[in-house]
Structure 1
């Protein structure tokens, strides 16, 4: 058995749905008051659940990181430029780290969005 969805607890599901809809370039799979779900290309689903309706009540939003693998170092740099031009907050500019080239951005609730190109392993 494998997990099939991620849930982010968000302050404003409609605002977060707008953010992720533009970022993912797709409409939600499901949208209802306090909750929105997107289906990702991998088949995994991404849910956005309003903190006022989550049971049991969650901790504060913003404690999650989502990774986006890309094909090259140039793709990392291009996506950072693209996201910055869209007004997305970039908290780590593109750099090469031990695991590969990466940058980190934030969604409206402070969840981290990491784009990376894994370093080749010997």
Structure 2
């Protein structure tokens, strides 16, 4: 079976979100349309930004999902400094959790991005 897993993040402003994720994750886009843009993460895995369902963001008081970036444990704090130097909105400062040191930031639409160590 030929398939790809795509994680879709809703965005209200596609250009702003592409700029944010490109700078934050240091990725280039691999597919671009006026309302849908993807970043290849690995063979068969992509992160997509989509304005087609951005109305779901309006008035949403809480997010129940998040994108998680797993890095080597010794890189977590350095990434926190790099991202805060870029001015990201910090939702939760670095803290210890069951999987190690982690923190959470938000994209321009309030979608949560967690950084945690690789298991």
TM-score range, shorter chain: 0.7 to 0.9
TM value normalised by structure 2:
0.82
Residues of 1 paired with 2:26 and 2:102: CA distance? 21
Residues of 2 paired with 1:42 and 1:16: CA distance? 23
**Structure 2 partner of 1:87:** 87
Counterpart check, 1:27 vs 2:28: yes
1:90-111: CA deviation from partner (whole Å, max 9, x where unpaired):
1111111223210111111111
Partner of 2:96, secondary structure, is strand
CA RMSD of aligned residues (A): 2.3
TM value normalised by structure 1:
0.80
Residues of 2 paired with 1:42 and 1:84: CA distance? 30
> Superposed, which structure 2 residues align to 1:38-117 within 5 Å?
38-41=39-42, 43-50=44-51, 53-54=52-53, 59-60=56-57, 63=63, 64-72=65-73, 74-117=74-117
1:48-102: CA deviation from partner (whole Å, max 9, x where unpaired):
111xx34xx8522673301111212x31111111100011111111111223210
Aligned residues: 114
